[in-house]
Amino acid sequence: MDGLLQRAKGDKVIWTIVAFLSVVSLLAVYSSTGSLAYRMRQGHTEYYLIKQLTVLGLGLLIIYFAHKVNYTVYSRIAQLGMLISIPLLCYTLAFGRNLNSAARWINLPVINLTFQTSDIAKLALFMYVSRMLSRKQGVITDFKTGFLPIILPVGFICLLIMPANMSTALLLGASCMLLCFIGRVPVKFLAAMVGCMAGIVLLMFIFAKLSGNDLRTKTWIARVESFMGGGDKEQPYQVQQANIAIAEGGILGKGPGNSNQRNFLPHPYSDFIYAIIIEEYGIFGAFLILMAYMLLLLRSIRIFKRCPYAFGAFLALGLSFTLVIQALCNMAVNVHLFPVTGVTLPMVSMGGSSVIFTSLAIGIILSVSRNVEETELKRIEKERMERVLQQQREAGLNMAV
């Protein structure tokens, strides 16, 4: 492991976090899918472990090749990514695969791969926002020329994601607003945008009620009411089972593979994998997972502060924001600090396209880090050569005297 870390470029701590989360993912997915694999795969309990190992291996390759690319290339493909994302999101709303009354996935017919188009949109949007923030710093306080070109695509992408995936749209919008705040966008502009988005969400609820197509709104309202303790329903079944898993985990947990709630908890390998981790590894294991994401954010902030160019700084920070905020939201749902949503735990939950695009995001962060390190090494080498030349000149003068 030390040899691999020495050969890898970029922030070594982030590489270590990726390796740690990958190991946790394999352990947690194998444990939480044992019963599922036995039922669905005729007793082949290692099926999902092998599948997750393959996806994580592909993800590590993507991280490696993405971090070898100069991050300025991503600025040039940001607009292309946006142009691709918008038609894909529209297609998903109209013809996407429907699961739990939400059209979030599309199938690629030739290779039979299913993926969420919102994953592509998130990555493209952060590259675009980072690009625009870096280019608009001179006029960032002007509403028309500075703020609108940045925020309009954010609002449009969030609106396309919102009907099928409200939680992802809200998290994406919040992450972009936070990045805009760091990019010196005036608070009054951001407050106005929050008000507009709240009004749009309200209009969506009203339209759904009037049109009679309010299945998703009923789901949203029921989740909020159950979380707040309102309505005439008790806590959702998955929340009850997650609470049992957490209670049984205790401080040190029941040990790897000893979870009972994996047999009762819906989606224990994706949305509620953190509850399984707590049951098997206890509060101590849950704390390590939380600290891993916090450390990822801190290292990205360090990259942000050291990066000499605005685009790279905003890109690294923005991508880390979306990963860490998504992770915190998933963990909050699992411990019942947040209403039930459909977000997964990045690099830990079982998945295909989500792991791929998360890996690409981490690879881009490491690309910025690698270029920062190379720039600093060149600066240090230049300063060393200047000192050597200065010493040689001084030595020549002394000999002449």
Element (H, E) at 113: strand 113-116
Is position 382 within any domain?
A: no
The mean of the pLDDT values for the chain is 84
Cite the DSSP H helix spans in 250-309. 273-306
Is position 397 within any domain?
A: no
Query: What pLDDT score was predicted for residue 203?
Result: 77
Is position 324 within any domain?
A: yes
Is position 378 within any domain?
A: no
**Residue 83's Cα: distance from chain center in Å?**
21
Q: Are 67 and 367 in contact (CB under 8 A)?
A: yes
Query: What pLDDT score was predicted for residue 60?
Result: 93
CA distance 168 to 282: 28
CA distance 188 to 194: 10
Is position 304 within any domain?
A: yes
Is position 353 within any domain?
A: yes
CA distance 216 to 221: 9
Asked whether residue 283 carries a pLDDT value surpassing 90, the answer given is: yes
CA distance 245 to 151: 41
Check residues 40 and 281 and name the one with the higher pLDDT: 281
pLDDT in tens, 313-333: 999 999 999 999 999 999 999
Residue pointed to by tokens 């300063």: 383
Is position 385 within any domain?
A: no
Check residues 264 and 215 and name the one with the higher pLDDT: 264
Q: How much is the average pLDDT of 242-268?
A: 89
What tokens appear for 231 in the block? 């309505």
**Residue 125's pLDDT band (boundaries 50, 70, 90)?**
very high
Asked whether residue 401 carries a pLDDT value surpassing 70, the answer given is: no
Residue pointed to by tokens 């998360």: 358
pLDDT in tens, 74-121: 988 888 888 888 888 888 887 776 655 555 667 666 555 677 888 888
What value, to the nearest 5°, has the Cα angle with vertex 221 and ends 215 and 224?
Answer: 145
Total domains, the chain: 1
Check residues 109 and 384 and name the one with the higher pLDDT: 384
Is position 388 within any domain?
A: no
Q: Are 82 and 88 in contact (CB under 8 A)?
A: no
Residue pointed to by tokens 């309010």: 214
Q: Which of 355, 171, 168, 361 is nearest to 270 (CA)?
A: 355
What value, to the nearest 5°, has the Cα angle with vertex 70 and ends 68 and 75?
Answer: 135
State the residue range of the domain holding 177: 2-372
